[in-house]
Structure formats: structure tokens, C-alpha cells
Homo-oligomer: A and B are copies of this chain.
Amino acid sequence: MFRYFCFLLFSSIILYSQDNQNIESQIESFYNHSLTNGKSYEWLEHLSNQIGGRLSGSLNAERAVRWSKEELEHLGLDKVWLQPVMVPKWVRGNFEYASIESSTGNSIKVSICALGGSVATPNTGIRAEVLEVKSFEELKKFGIDKVAGKIVFFNRPMDPTKINTFSSYSGSVNQRTKGAEEAIKYGAVAVIVRSMNLSNDDFPHTGSMYYGSAKLRDRIPGAAISTNGANLLSSMLKLDPNLKFFIKQNCQNYPDVLSYNVIGEIKGSEFPDQIILVGGHLDSWDLGDGSHDDGAGVVQSMEVLNQFKSLGIKPKHTLRVVLFMNEENGLRGGKTYAKIAIKNSEDHLFALESDAGGFTPRGFSFDSSDSAFNKIKLWKQYFKPYLINEFYKGGGGADIGPLKSMGTVLAGLRPDSQRYFDYHHSSQDTFEAINKRELELGAATMSSLIYLVDIFGF
């Protein structure tokens, strides 16, 4: 009996260690494949340089839908389809101009861009005095007497001392998203927001803004000013508090238009009704070509399915890639996808999003129960050779967020964040800012996690 027990124990140790070796070698093959035969870089070159910026509702967004569907079809997946989504359509227009006009009659042009969703200025522009504030509390203290008739200048910088730059972003971005809504309450005529950028440079960074419940006729224009421009304006205001700011932009909101989420899948061999989702968002802002935000996430997600096909791995669960439309200014793709999944009672076991740039992967954030997270943490060992160390609880991603109500375990790829906000939402987010190896390592890291979820489940 004792010998039998020893035999069993010994056998299972051998089996376990063989299994472990198989897993390690499978994961190694993802990295080797990605770094030598991966398609992500070539795909991104096309998406960025041949298509370009692809704001929801634009012709380029439709080109991106068509191209990515075709590329997924070339992979020989079991099914590829388009999921219709109505998306907002906002167009920047052909004119954006701003200058600081001193009391003594000098004028200095500064670099601005309209915020996504903003209304236009009158054709003749807006010229007004400027009130600089760092927060909504400060704005409230000034009140209607000091604010009415002025341009409110939100100038709270991103905190440079946060190591994770997304924390710096969270700490400042309400100025952009809700600044106009707040300033309207006190009679401001426009808002200028310091760009969400940790570098000092001349590039304005756009992004979405919302008017809350403000009536259409009360809405005021919102624009981002480059960090150099913001520093200049702030220092000039100290010398010349009565200077005027002139701004003119002719962006426009249109009625919603039809667009699509692009979806492809490999049917699971054992649990075809349980879905493992991987995705990023196909739309981008219009100033750059959206290589980091989120071209990288799109091609990395496509690459995960390419790797399973190329390496001949048959997933037990259904492996689905979703390229979401309209993350940037409405999240309609993510919301529509979840609504339909819930309606059809689809079982989503796991969803992984890559939407933090194509930089060296450092780990994942997980939005899950403690028990699932405890299981996931055991997999960290497999990532050690690839210098993937950060497994922590946090958000998965905007597009997959609406799946949370179904109990889906959510995860987000966390690449190194130091350079992200140099590019984010600006003309600097282009293919030249992508490093091939960093992008490919991200794709392999995603494939590895997906593979572990597929074999171990939760």
C-alpha cells in the first residue's frame, strides 16, 4: 500500500512536471513566434500608414473596419462578422486657431486643438479675458461674478511623481471631460484645457469632452492647449492679468451614423459555449494615426488568434477577438457588444483588453473576484523569463468593462507607461513611435495569458 502510494505520488509529480514543461515550452513558442514571425508590426504599419487616424463615423474608420475584417478572414478563423453599432460623428473641421493678445497689443499664436464633441466658436471667433484655475473647487470659489464672460483656463498639470502615468492622467483628466460643463454654470464663454501630457512640448492633445445636462444653446467651445502653450499663457497672465485670448474653431457634431465592431472567433473544442475574448479598439483620434491608441491593441489582439492558428493550438473554449468601435468618444462598441451578449445569454469566461500602448509589457491588471485572482497569481511563474512581473487588481479596459455585470473576469495588458502620454491623442501618436519588439512582446504576453485561461479556467 505504501509502495503504491509512493508510486502514485511519484507519477503525479512526474506528470505535473511534464505538464509544467509543456506549458513553459508552449509559452516560449508564443514569444519565439511573435518575435520572428509575428504579423502585428506589419499589420500596424498598414493600419497606421495606409489607413491612418480613424475617428468614429469617418471614412477612415470604415476603411479600418473593412481591412481588419479581411485580415481576420485571411487567418482562416471559424467565423468572422461585423456587429452593427450606431456611433457619434464629430468632425474637427478645417480651422483651429488661437492667440494670446497682450494689453499692449502684441499677439502670440499658440498651439490648440478642439476637444472631441466640442461645439464650434462663432465664425468670428471668441475674444475674452482669461481666468486660470486648477480645479472645479477653485472655479466655484470665483463664482459667477469672476467667471462670467471669461475664458476659463484649466491648468492643473498631470502629477509627474506618480510612477504609473495612468494615475497622473486620472488625476487631471476631469478638467478635459467635465471642464466645460462646470464652466457653463458660471457663465464662461469657452474653456481652454492644459493638454494631458507629462512632457513640455508644442503638441495639443485632444480627447473627449461632455456637456452633461447643459442645453444645446448654452454649450461653449472647449479646446486643449499644448503644455508649452499653457506654461506661456500662465506666465503671461501673471504679468498681464487683463490679456485676452482669441480662439476660433469650426468643429461640428452630426447625427449618429452606422459603424461596426469587427469580430472573429475560433470555436472551442470542449467548451464552445464559453467565450474567451481578446480585444482593443479600432477607432482612434484624428490628430495622429492612432498607432499606440489603440492600433497596437488591435493588431496584438488579432495576433493572439493568428498565433493559435499558426502554432496549431486548438483552444478548448471559444477564442474570440473583438475590435471595438468608438471607445474614444462614446464607448458605443463596448456597450453594444455587452448588450447583445447579455441578450443572447452568451457565457463570457474571460476578457482581455490591450489599450495602454504598444510598449514593453510589464504585466496585467485584473478586475475579478479574489478567488479568481488568487488562481491567476499562480500563473505569474510562467511569465518570469519574459520579465512580466506586475499582476495586480485594477480595471480591465473601457471596452470590456460592460461585461463585468455578467461576472466575466476582466484583464488589461499593462505595458510600460512612461512614454504613453507623450503621444496619447496627439499628432505624435504615429507608427514611428512604435518599437517592433515591444509591440511583439505585448502580443506574446497576451497569447500566453489567454492560453493559461484556456487550459486552467477559473
Contacts and interface: CB of A to CB of B under 8 A. Distances in A.
A35 B360 CA distance: 21
Most B CB within 10 A of own CB, among A35, A164, A390, A437: A437
A161 B35 contact: yes
A43 to B, nearest CB: 17
Given A419-B435, A436-B199, A437-B418, A31 B387 contact: no
B435 A31 contact: no
24 contacts: A31-B161, A31-B163, A32-B161, A35-B160, A35-B161, A36-B160, A36-B161, A160-B437, A163-B386, A163-B387, A163-B441, A164-B387, A165-B437, A198-B437, A360-B360, A360-B418, A362-B387, A387-B389, A387-B390, A416-B416, A418-B435, A418-B441, A419-B437, A422-B435
Given A160-B437, A360-B416, 12 more contacts: A31-B163, A32-B161, A35-B161, A199-B436, A360-B360, A360-B418, A362-B387, A387-B389, A416-B416, A418-B437, A418-B441, A419-B435
A438 interface: yes
A164 B385 CA distance: 10
A422 to B, nearest CB: 7
Nearest to A163: B386
Contacts of A31: 161, 163
Interface residues of A, number: 27
Nearest to A363: B387
Interface string A421-440: 01000000000000111100
A163 B387 CA distance: 8
A284 to B, nearest CB: 22
A32 B32 CA distance: 38
Nearest to A165: B437
Nearest to A438: B418
A446 to B, nearest CB: 16
Nearest to A390: B387
Contacts of A161: 31-32, 35-36
